[in-house]
């Protein structure tokens, strides 16, 4: 009976579940409290369209600046704007209201974060249920009292965590409407994020190359003669 393997899996899953971290002596921290978030805005299809347009213009601007820096060398990296600055200039160019744009951007980020968190909870719930089924099967064939008691305790803990996951807030009607809007442009959002990450990697590589060149150009220190 491979009780140890199943117990190790159950323990790992329980540790991943919300609210299950054990405190170590002297390491008590303030409980994590989700910051109060202002009421979100009501997204419209036009908001999504403008958001994508501004991001596209900002990424094109950053891409051009990075290409110029690659041609001129690492010293030109200082001229590359941060994404937020490029976004602001792009919003002005597109005739978008900056305050509205940032509210839309923050709401989209919040919604995407919620979706990822709920998907993670769904996957974790499936794993917890699978582990509970495995332990229940082990309990059915366990003979000694100590093993049965330990297995039952683990099953009970898994059941508690499954209940907690099921108590997660359901999406509000507004979130469902917004999710439907985002679903139509999910690929575009992911593509833009991929482009931005690629720009970041290129800038990092260019900076590393510039530092390497500067280091190679330094005169070799001469040994001190006493």
Q: Give per-residue pLDDT as tens, 28-47.
A: 333 333 434 445 689 999 99
Instruction: Specify if 66 maps to a domain.
Output: yes
Instruction: Specify if 209 maps to a domain.
Output: yes
In this predicted structure, the answer to whether residue 225 has a pLDDT above a threshold of 60 is no
Q: Are 104 and 47 in contact (CB under 8 A)?
A: yes
Residue 216: predicted pLDDT? 60
Instruction: Specify if 122 maps to a domain.
Output: yes
Q: Give this prediction's pTM.
A: 0.65
Distance CA 135, CA 95 (A): 60
Domain count of the fold of the chain: 1
Distance CA 127, CA 9 (A): 9
Tokens of 204: 């990092």
Number of alpha carbons in the 13 Å side-chain half-sphere of residue 94: 23
Which carries the bigger pLDDT value, residue 73 or residue 14?
Answer: 73
Where in the sequence is the domain holding 208, given as residue range(s)? Answer: 41-213
Instruction: Specify if 94 maps to a domain.
Output: yes
Q: Which long-range contacts (CB under 8 A, 24 or more apart) does 160-167 make?
A: 161/13, 161/14, 161/17, 161/18, 161/20, 161/128, 162/125, 162/128, 162/129, 162/132, 164/17, 164/18, 164/19, 165/17, 165/18, 165/121, 165/124, 165/125, 165/128, 166/125
Instruction: Specify if 70 maps to a domain.
Output: yes
Nearest by Cα to 3 from 98, 141, 118: 141
In this predicted structure, the answer to whether residue 16 has a pLDDT above a threshold of 90 is no
Residue 170's pLDDT band, with cuts at 50, 70 and 90, is confident
Mean pLDDT of 168-193: 88
Instruction: Specify if 105 maps to a domain.
Output: yes
The 10 Å Cβ neighbour count of residue 154 is 22
**Which residues are CB-neighbours of 134 under 8 A, at least 6 positions away?**
6, 9, 10
Residue 191: predicted pLDDT? 94
pLDDT digits (tens, 9 = 90+) for 187-219: 999 999 999 999 889 888 887 777 766 666 544
Q: Are 17 and 165 in contact (CB under 8 A)?
A: yes
């Amino acid at each position: 009976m491979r009780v140890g393997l199943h117990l190790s899996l159950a323990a790992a899953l329980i540790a991943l579940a919300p609210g299950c971290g054990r405190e170590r002596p002297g390491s008590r921290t303030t409980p994590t409290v989700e910051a109060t978030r202002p009421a979100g805005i009501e997204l419209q299809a036009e908001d999504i369209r403008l958001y994508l347009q501004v991001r596209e213009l900002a990424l094109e601007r950053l891409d051009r600046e990075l290409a110029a820096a690659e041609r001129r060398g690492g010293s030109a990296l200082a001229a590359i704007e941060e994404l937020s600055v490029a976004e602001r200039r792009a919003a002005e160019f597109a005739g978008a209201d900056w305050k509205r744009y940032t509210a839309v951007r923050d709401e989209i980020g919040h919604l995407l974060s919620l979706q990822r968190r709920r998907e993670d909870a769904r996957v974790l719930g499936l794993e917890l249920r699978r582990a509970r089924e495995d332990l229940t099967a082990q309990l059915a064939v366990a003979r000694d009292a100590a093993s049965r008691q330990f297995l039952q305790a683990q099953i009970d803990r898994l059941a508690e965590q499954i209940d907690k996951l099921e108590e997660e807030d359901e999406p509000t009607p507004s979130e469902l409407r917004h999710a439907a809007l985002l679903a139509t442009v999910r690929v575009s959002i992911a593509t833009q994020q991929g482009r931005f990450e690629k720009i970041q990697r290129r800038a990092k590589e260019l900076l590393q190359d510039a530092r390497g060149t500067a280091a190679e150009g330094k005169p070799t220190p001469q040994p001190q003669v006493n």
